[in-house]
Amino acid sequence: MSGVPALPARRGEVPSVLLALADDELIVGWRDSEWTGIAPLLEEDVAFSSIAQNEIGHARAFYELLVGPDGDADALAFDRQPDDYRCAPLVELHLLEWAPTIARRWLYEVVDEIRITALKDDPDPALAGLAAKIDREEAYHRMHAEMWHDRLRDEPRFRKAVEELWPYALGALPAELRGELVSRVGLSEVEPVERGTHSEDLGPLWEEMTTVRRSAPAGAQW
Amino acid sequence: MTPTEPQVWEALEEIPDPEIPVVSLVDLGVIRSVDVSNGHVRIEFTPTFLGCPALEVMKRAMEEKVPGAEVEVISDDSWSTDRITPAGREKLRAAGFAPPAPREASTPKLVQLQSNVFRCPYCGSTETRLENIFGPTPCRSLRYCESCRQPFEQFKTI
């Protein structure tokens, strides 16, 4: 689609990795925000809303890094067709039950910690600095995920949800980082649901997420 | 006429945090540097939390307060809650927000938040418990004081 800014070439191979990360954060933030107002506990309503806001803030920072100071991060975030998104199917799934929702939160945080930790050593100082900042904020998301994991680890519905989401979690990381995920989660390696394909849940999410952009292409004024 | 560096700092001291107006941007320690040279003002600004919806408001407030200034947002890990000034911490406490604990070498852990080292900003008791890691904004947690039975917000350490 025209209007999508060209990604800066100077980052070489990085953009697709970065775009994948940005899209994951945007979409997982969108999914988490769906619990606003309807989470089973008021405390979780607050927690999911706050986490969602922060994940979308991380997405914005990655998009801004990708488009550069004069680029339009919103255009990159919202003016692509669903097939052009690089998010992993893990974050797309429309989960309507609390057990798989918490299972995804926990798996996603483990995945995210592994790749953010790797990015902190990136030779690009802007990217490494951003990763370090995000890592500090994510400490609180991890606490939340770990707290629930400790509470539910022996609960059959939670274990079943983790096992069902496991191929998706594996596919969210590049092959070279999967070994660490396997040892952290403690499940054996299976056929992953790879990034690059999309679940059928992305389409309806994209429809809703981009409604305002598509109805006011020149930019909505609030 | 181009302002001097102290004048820019003074102007920035008058900009309240949009969500906790008792503290200024200078109190929060989010102004990393001010540079005035050749008639040009450059302000380096570090966001608190990247998910903070007040970032744009803060940036616009700086551009209005110091006309012509170039505000550069630096998204690295140079800001931490340790950069909140002593005056800023006092103002937070007086407004009912417990200031953040000092940052340690390791990342914060849940057990630390669940410990009772956090002091109630109302009565000073350390008999407080964690209610929620998350609060009304990304930078705050919710606690409850068992002594004076008052819920309060705690600035997260990052």
A154 vs B63: CA distance, rounded Å: 54
**Tokens found for residue B100:** 């953040």
What pLDDT, on the 0 to 100 scale, is given for residue B33?
Answer: 95
pLDDT in tens, A77-108: 999 999 999 999 999 999 999 999 999 999 99
**Tokens found for residue A45:** 């309503």
Mean pLDDT over all residues of chain A?
A: 92
**Share of chain A residues as helix, strand and coil, in percent rounded to the nearest 5:** 70, 0, 30
- Provide mean pLDDT across the span A100-121: 97
- Provide mean pLDDT across the span A15-24: 92
Distances in whole angstroms, Cα of residue B62 to Cα of each of A134, A212, B28, B37, B123: 24, 29, 14, 18, 36
What pLDDT, on the 0 to 100 scale, is given for residue A3?
Answer: 44
Give B158's contacts (C-beta < 8 A, 6+ positions apart): A136, A137, A139, B48, B49, B80, B81, B100, B103, B108, B139
What pLDDT, on the 0 to 100 scale, is given for residue A11?
Answer: 46
In this predicted structure, the answer to whether residue A6 has a pLDDT above a threshold of 80 is no
ipTM of the complex: 0.89
Q: Does residue B57 or residue A6 have the better pLDDT?
A: B57
- Provide mean pLDDT across the span A123-146: 95
**Do B126 and B151 meet the contact criterion of CB atoms below 8 Å apart?**
no
As a whole number of Å, the CA-based R_g of chain B is: 17
Chain B contact set for A129 (CB, 8 A): 74-78
Q: CB contact, 8 Å: B101 with chain A?
A: no
The residue ranges of chain B whose pLDDT is under 50 are none
Name the residue of chain B whose CA is nearest to A126's CA: B76
Q: Give the distance from CA A50 to its chain's centroid.
A: 15
Q: Confidence band (pLDDT; 50, 70, 90) for A2? A: very low
Mutate to test the interface with A, among B50, B72, B129, B139 (most CBs of A within 10 A): B50
Q: CB contact, 8 Å: B105 with chain A?
A: no
**Do A51 and B45 meet the contact criterion of CB atoms below 8 Å apart?**
no
- Provide mean pLDDT across the span A57-67: 94
| B70-73, strands of its sheet edge to edge | B31-37, B40-45, B70-73
Whether residue A58 and residue B52 make contact (CB cut-off 8 A), yes or no, is no
